[in-house]
Structure 1
Amino acid sequence: MHSSISTAMAMMAFAGFVYFLSDRISLNALVKSALPLTLCGFLLIPSEGFLGMVVSSYMISAGYSFMTLLIALMLYDISKRFGIMVLLLFCLKNAMQIFVVWGKDFAGMIERSGLTPGTQEAVLIIIVVALISSMAFILYSEKGLTSTWGVKFIETDLLDEQGREEKARTTLCDHLSSKHRLSPREDEILRLYAQGLNGPQIERELFIAEGTLKTHTRHIYEKLGISNRKELYALLGVK
């Protein structure tokens, strides 16, 4: 599970997957696969033979990785929307390591209980499967989320939509920049306008003076055949 060879094989497979299939994969489906993968991995632990343990280990590792990705995406989304310091959110995320320590302590208690090894393993699997199943029920129940927690905890559909919008915006800027032969700096400013930023925000983003931005913006207008910011936003589809 943690060998250099298996890590290299997994990363090569992942790199090929991203390169060839990333534009066909639903982020919503990807992040929701974390819990089923982990659950299946734990259920395979008692399987006889080497293959069962190998498959189980990879399923649990993949589930853990996808869950980490889901949490990171949610924290990023929260940080972006509400202007919360992302370091604070990741401190909360990393607090889950406490539960890893508690899990090891609990496993140690069962080991010292005097039960047979087979019984100990069965007890741990039952507890873990019950916890994961409960979590899956809560996370996948939209009604349960809104009534119990008061918020929509997972909004992967929104993240999918934002990803599509960003891709469309990038494609449009690529087209305009190439067609009208914008300079690298003009291209950079155009993309910031496409994100809905105003003049002062772009000046702070690029550390440039107001006069410099006005000059570049005027050149962009001339090359695109427009005359003002309103027309630029309309061309870029900025609301």
Structure 2
Amino acid sequence: MAAREEGTGLGTLLVFLSALLAVTFPFLFNDSQYRSDWGTKRSRPLADSVIKYYYTLPDVCTALARQYGLSKREEAVLQLLAQKKTAPDIATELFISIPTVKTHTQNIYRKLDIHSRTELFALLDAEVPAAHEERILETEERRPA
């Protein structure tokens, strides 16, 4: 009977310690510290979450389209390329043929002076406009915690 009570006390203690750790963990480690300690910190501060990255992507594509004089259709193709969609996926989504997608892609690359998707992704990462960055920070400040 004594062993049974000891086991119950130990189980209760373990449950209490687990609950205590679960409650205090968010206060001990903030998100950025947790990410950097575990090696999951992203290199781009604005893209610290996938949702935020894809939220900013259309705005970055629009800014690039205006800066480099892309047509509306090229801008739409650019946004889908930036989302890492393939030519057949883009053709299906925009209701155009695959050769037309490839032509738009070539025109985009020529106007942006790039030669591959890798260069496109590097350009998209580098071209976050300062005004857009400020707007994101303002939006985050207005959000309730």
| TM-score, normalisation: structure 2 | 0.49
Greater RCO between the two (CA within 8 Å, min separation 6)?
A: 2
Q: TM-score, normalised by structure 1?
A: 0.31
